Structures are given as structure tokens and as C-alpha cells.
Structure 1
Amino acid sequence: MPASLAGRYWLLHPVWGDRYGMTHIAAGPDGTPASVRVLSPDPPAVRRADVDLLTGLRHPNLATVRDVLVDGRVAIAADAVLGRTLRRARLTADELPRVAADVAAALAALHARGVCHGTIGPSTVMVDRDGGAVLADVAVGHLLRLPTAPADDHQALADLLAAVWRNTHGRWRRPPAALRDVWADTMARARDMG
């Protein structure tokens, strides 16, 4: 029998984990699939204002946070994103600029609400069936109060894009102009934010 969280989400199987916790595929209250991130033991206390802020974030390139559960442990329930992570994706020169632009737009939406991601990496960027990108784990850094600024998110995105490009196309091949434009824009935003 699957483990239950707050009697509303049933953890079906783990997908991946890191030092912040384990992500599971789960069934939500209405049976729809969800992604549930169970944070590592002893996270900081969860404030109601944080829950309201995080569950109110809406953007097409953000995995929507459905709920923050406190049931002996802290867990973040979000919409499940169908697709593959950048850890598994091999992107073409045409696909990578779109992914970069989608994640940059998601970050802009987060930062406009005063939220920093703090944990951008190849497992937090999902590429959907249409080739667009969705940023997952949007609440982890905020709830854990990681010392992150918008400039740190932009630098992490630039580093991630460079790594994906090198892994897919080789170290010495020059990125396409569209991707260089997204990198330049991302780094300019980081410089403007200090």
C-alpha cells in the first residue's frame, strides 16, 4: 500500500533525490498524478504566508504548486509535468534556445513575486512533449530559506545551458546565435540585480 501524506496524496514511487529531499510520483486527492517533493528531515517551520505565495504562483513555464503539506514532515505537492528532465534530454540547436527562453521567463515570474528558485539544475528543468520547458521544484529554495538572489538563479541557468550544450554538441562547437542572445539577456538581468 502506498504511503499517504496528510491523507490527500499517496506516494507511488520515488523518482529522484538530492540533499534537499526525495521527489515521488503520487496520486492526488482526485486521483490525478502529482509530483511530491518530501523535504529532508528538520526543514524550517512553514509559514502560512509562504504557502499562500507559493500556491498562488501561476505561469505556463512553472510547475504549479498545489499544496505544501506538514504531516510530521514537510512536502510540496505540484502538478506532474509529462516530459523528460534536462539530465536525460539531448537538445538540438533549435530546441535549446526555446528551453532557455522558457526557463528565463519562469524565473522572471518567480522573481517578480519575490521568490528565488535556488536549486536550478538538470533535474529541475522538464522538457515537455512540445519542446517547451517547465521549471519544477519552485518552492524548495524558498521554503528551505536558501541564501539565493535572482542573480544566483540567472548564473545557475547560464551554467546549466552551457553544460547541456557541451554534453549534446561537444565542447568546442559554438552555440547558435539565438542561444547566445538568451545567455546575454540572462547575464544582463543578473548584473542589473546586483
Structure 2
Amino acid sequence: MAALQADRYRLLHPTWGDRYGMTHIAVSRDGTPVTVRVLASDRPAPRRAVIDLITGIRHPNLATVRDVLVDGRVAIAADAVLGRSLRRARLGTDELLRVGSGLTGALTALHEHGVWHRTLSPSTVMLDDLGRAVLTDVAVGHLLDLPGSAADDWRALAELLSTVWRNTHGRWRRPPPTLRDVWADTMARARDMG
């Protein structure tokens, strides 16, 4: 793995890791910023058709997978998304609608190719400098053969948007009515009854 990374990408520093592997900030030979995700599991090398499939999916709300490196371990090189994750994001209604729309398009593009994301969470969604939502870790679930389906991805998206909404707006409960609200409601009903 080190030889392939050294040949194509220069790892600068690790950014974060989880049970699926470690993500590094890196640069390609032409100086383009990328992320290299070294998978934790010793999986068999993916077939060329799988690599071609994953590297061929394009959508403005997906971090493009540039390469899948295989040398003892599997690593995924993808375009770096400069911005912040949704993990602690606080978004207004219009921003949340834009994020949801962008992620819907990204998941649709994946599903049209028979690829499920399988690890969708606020940590795998970045807001770039323009405020565009970009889905990362596109190939991790597919290459690790994690269980999942398109329905699971849609459920995860609904949970993600709900979480961001709650982080921003608190609980979904309406505030308790004031005496004035109760009075106005009672008077409106009385007028309607004639």
C-alpha cells in the first residue's frame, strides 16, 4: 500500500478514523488535494469492474472517487471536500432543504449504478465553501460489503435531516399555548359555529 500511495498520492496527515479505517489528507502527483481512506479490514482486492463502477459515478453532490488502491490493503482516493461536516451544523429551513435536495440527488446517482452508501451519517456529509452538501465515503460500504439497501440509505437520510433539524431547532414540540392563544382559538371556533 505504501508504494502505491507514494507513487500516486503523498499522505500529509491523518484526519480521523473509525471502525472502517483511517482517513488521511493527501495530494495527488499534480498537487490536487485528496483524501485517502485506508480500509481497516483485510478484504480481498475488488474486481476491476467494481473499481471502474465506483470511479465512474459522477454527481455534483458526491465526492468523486478517483482511484481504488490495492496493495495488501484497500484504500480509496477521493476528491477532498474543503468545508465542515454536518455533525454539529446548525441550518435554517432553506439551507436544510438545499442539503436534503443535494443528498437526494447524490443517493439517486449511486442507486442508479447499483451502489448503496451504507454509512450515511452527519460525519459523511460535508458542506463545502459554497454551502453545497457533498456526500463522502462513497465507496466504503460497497467495498467492505456492509449490509444495506437503497431503503436503508433513504431511512438514514431521513434520520440525518431530522438530527440536523433537532440540533438547530430543539425538540419538535410546539410551545405550550398561552392563555391568549386559547382565548383566540375559542373565539374563532365560536364565530365559525355562528
Same fold (TM over 0.5): yes
Structure 1 residue 48: Cα displacement: 0.7
- The 8 Å contact of residues 15 and 24 in structure 1, kept in 2 or not, is answered as yes
- The 8 Å contact of residues 55 and 65 in structure 2, kept in 1 or not, is answered as yes
Kindly provide the CA deviation profile for residues 35-73 of structure 1, in whole angstroms up to 9, marking residues without a partner as x.
Answer: 111100312331111100011011111110000001221
| SS state at 1:166 partner | helix
Larger radius of gyration: 2
For 2:181, the equivalent position in structure 1 comes to none
| SS state at 1:87 partner | helix
Note the 1:27-176 alignment, pairs <5 A: 27-172=27-172
Structure 1 residue 6: Cα displacement: 5.1
TM-score (norm 2): 0.84
Structure 2, unpaired ranges of 5+: 175-194
Question: Residues of 2 paired with 1:169 and 1:3: CA distance?
Answer: 48
Cα RMSD between the aligned structures? Answer: 1.7
Question: Residues of 1 paired with 2:47 and 2:99: CA distance?
Answer: 33
Structure 1 residue 173: Cα displacement: 5.6
The residue type paired with residue 13 of structure 2 is: H
- The 8 Å contact of residues 3 and 12 in structure 1, kept in 2 or not, is answered as no
For 2:184, the equivalent position in structure 1 comes to none
Structure 1 residue 152: Cα displacement: 0.3
Structure 1 residue 146: Cα displacement: 1.2
Question: Residues of 2 paired with 1:170 and 1:24: CA distance?
Answer: 34
TM-score (norm 1): 0.84
- The 8 Å contact of residues 6 and 71 in structure 1, kept in 2 or not, is answered as no
Structure 1, unpaired ranges of 5+: 175-194
| SS state at 2:131 partner | coil
The residue type paired with residue 31 of structure 2 is: G
Kindly tell me: are residues 51 and 4 of structure 1, through their superposed partners in 2, closer, same or farther at Cα, counting changes over 3 Å? closer
Structure 1 residue 130: Cα displacement: 1.7
**Which protein has the bigger helix share?**
2
In the comparison of the two structures, how many residue pairs are matched?
Answer: 173
The residue type paired with residue 35 of structure 1 is: T
The residue type paired with residue 84 of structure 2 is: R
Kindly provide the CA deviation profile for residues 73-103 of structure 1, in whole angstroms up to 9, marking residues without a partner as x.
Answer: 1100000111111013221222111001100
- The 8 Å contact of residues 5 and 71 in structure 1, kept in 2 or not, is answered as no
Note the 1:9-24 alignment, pairs <5 A: 9-24=9-24
- The 8 Å contact of residues 86 and 164 in structure 2, kept in 1 or not, is answered as yes
